[in-house]
Amino acid sequence: MARSRRGRRRDPWDDIFGSFDEEFEEMRRRMDAIMEGFMSGGLEQFGQPMIYGFSMRVGPDGRPRIQEFGNTLPPQAEEVPGRREPLTDIIEEKDRVRIIVELPGVDKEDIQLNAEDRTLDIEVDREDRKFYKQVELPCAVDPEGAEANYKNGVLEIVLKRVEPRKRGRSIKINGE
């Protein structure tokens, strides 16, 4: 094992999990601020569920990726009452990118998708449910060859990788 400048042995796990302490500390600060706002009556979303969460994955480069979701954003960001950010997974494959989105309680006709070469917009705007997320894609994709399926509240979008130069277009959703 290598030794650091201070003579302490360097643990190989430090490279993999070194940033987790900082990420968890930031999440703790955010949750404390949310709870403080709730206890002081400063949150205007009374009567609506407050959803905030994160998913952690290891990317293809071996580095951890933390993604936030929900309708309550960190205190420094603007809150969007009544509109939720859905849980989203991005799976990079050799020749394509798959995006899996949880959109419970909506019909496929309610979902609007728009893709450009490196972004995907997902929107649901119903009176009882509103979702929105702009996904930054890990590579350039071909919106013309996009496929989408929706079943049991789960939307799967498959986009083929291409050289960056394509324009955006709407995506037709197949399924129920």
Torsions phi, psi of 136, nearest 5? Answer: -85, 115
> Residue 6 pLDDT more than 60?
no
Domains, the chain = 1-81 (no CATH), 86-176 (2.60.40.790)
pLDDT, tens digit, for every residue of 10-63? 666 666 666 677 788 888 988 888 788 777 766 554 556 667 777 888 877 777
Distance CA 56, CA 89 (A): 10
> Residue 162 pLDDT more than 60?
yes
Backbone torsion region of residue 153, taken as left when φ is above 0, otherwise alpha when ψ lies between -120 and 50, otherwise beta? left
Residue ranges of the alpha helices (H) in 40-99?
A: none
pLDDT, tens digit, for every residue of 73-99? 655 545 556 688 899 999 988 899 999
